[in-house]
């Protein structure tokens, strides 16, 4: 079955570029030889079933997962290719206004709501992992650091995340749960508004209290779910 899949993939698609390659695995862009459609191929070592769950969770703010193939200790994912810009790309040319931040964070809350309800914690929310497609739809991408929350564990088996955006508990203090994504959303908001982490320059404005509550070191003092956060975002700017 797997041999047939990989043979068919190689026959029908050609490599466009290697997007990234490292210890976490390899991400590449492929193009269908006949139809010209682009897809993303992710290959990484492991047996985690996060992408299997994502495959069954169609949502406008989450990339479509077309195939998930397990082959011994390697997972291959075929994923929707998104035409657009990341928040990181947009920040290269200037800052966001509060209204823009609210729109994007609201969409991210919608994506995270369905993820969290299905036990998935993203664990790597940052400007490079949030895309705005050419239709203006927000997409939360790259689930290579995502995990399935297991209530019986006291801490993560592996420390993953991006420095500056990762909550303290992601570094062995406790198990990551949905509140680490809320912490990262707070950091992301501050960066979108100032290009700096809150520790260096804390944003002052209508989103100050929201950012502060998201980024509390004690997870019990943060918003406890993304619905609570979304409902607390200012409605008029």
β-strand partners of 76: 43, 69
Residue 61 structure tokens: 């703010």
Vertex 145, ends 167 and 164: CA angle to 5°? Answer: 30
**CA–CA separation, 167 and 178 (whole Å):** 11
Determine the pLDDT at residue 85. Answer: 97
3-state secondary structure of 8: helix
What Å distances lie between residue 218 and 166, 176, 223, CA to CA?
A: 13, 12, 11
**CA–CA separation, 125 and 165 (whole Å):** 7
**CA–CA separation, 57 and 63 (whole Å):** 10
Over the Cα atoms of the chain, what is R_g? 18
Q: Give backbone dihedrals phi and psi of 135, rounded to 5 degrees, phi first.
A: -95, 0
Catalytic annotation, residues? 124
**CA–CA separation, 14 and 187 (whole Å):** 38
Please report, in tens digits, the pLDDT of each residue of the chain (237 residues total): 588 888 889 899 999 999 988 877 899 999 999 999 999 999 988 766 788 899 998 999 999 999 999 888 888 999 999 999 999 999 999 999 999 999 999 999 999 999 999 999 999 999 999 999 999 999 999 998 888 876 655 444 455 668 899 998 888 766 789 999 999 999 999 999 999 999 999 999 999 999 999 999 999 999 999 999 999 999 865
45's enclosing H/E stretch is: strand 38-45
3-state secondary structure of 89: helix
User: Mind listing the pLDDT tens digit for each residue in 169-187?
Assistant: 888 766 789 999 999 999 9
User: Mind listing the pLDDT tens digit for each residue in 1-23?
Assistant: 588 888 889 899 999 999 988 87
148's enclosing H/E stretch is: strand 147-148
HEC letters along 175-194 = CCCHHHHHHHHHHHHHHHHH
Determine the pLDDT at residue 47. Answer: 66
**CA–CA separation, 34 and 53 (whole Å):** 30
């Amino acid at each position: 079955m797997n041999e047939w899949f990989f043979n068919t993939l190689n026959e029908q698609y050609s490599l466009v570029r290697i997007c990234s390659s490292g210890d976490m695995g390899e991400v590449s862009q492929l193009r269908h030889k006949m139809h010209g459609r682009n897809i993303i191929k992710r290959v990484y070592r492991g047996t985690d079933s996060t992408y299997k769950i994502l495959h069954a969770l169609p949502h406008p703010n989450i990339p479509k997962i077309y195939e998930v193939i397990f082959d011994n200790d390697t997972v291959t994912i075929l994923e929707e290719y998104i035409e657009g810009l990341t928040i990181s790309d947009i920040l290269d040319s200037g800052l966001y206004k509060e209204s823009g931040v609210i729109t994007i964070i609201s969409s991210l809350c919608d994506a995270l709501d369905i993820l969290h309800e299905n036990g998935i914690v993203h664990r790597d929310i940052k400007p490079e992992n949030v895309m705005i497609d050419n239709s203006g739809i927000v997409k939360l991408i790259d689930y290579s650091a995502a995990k399935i929350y297991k209530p019986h564990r006291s801490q993560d088996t592996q420390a993953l995340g991006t420095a500056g955006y990762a909550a303290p508990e992601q570094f062995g203090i406790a198990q990551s749960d949905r509140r680490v994504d809320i912490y990262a959303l707070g950091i992301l908001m501050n960066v979108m508004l100032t290009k700096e982490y809150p520790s260096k320059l804390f944003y002052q404005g209508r989103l100050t209290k929201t950012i502060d509550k998201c980024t509390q070191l004690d997870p019990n003092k943060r918003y406890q779910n993304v619905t609570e956060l979304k409902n607390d975002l200012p409605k008029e700017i």
